[in-house]
Amino acid sequence: MRGREETESRTSGRISTARRWAEYLVAILAGNIIYLAIEPQLPYPLRHRMFQIDLGLALDFLICVALYGLIRLVRTSGSRSA
* Number of CB atoms found within 10 A of residue 12's CB: 10
Higher pLDDT, 63 or 78: 63
* Alpha helices in the chain, H assignment, sequence order: 2-38, 55-81
The full set of domain ranges for the chain reads 2-81
pLDDT band at 38 (very low <50, low <70, confident <90, very high): very high
For residues 70 and 34, is the Cβ–Cβ distance under 8 A? no
For residues 57 and 48, is the Cβ–Cβ distance under 8 A? yes
Express each pLDDT in 46-63 by its tens digit.
999 999 999 999 999 999
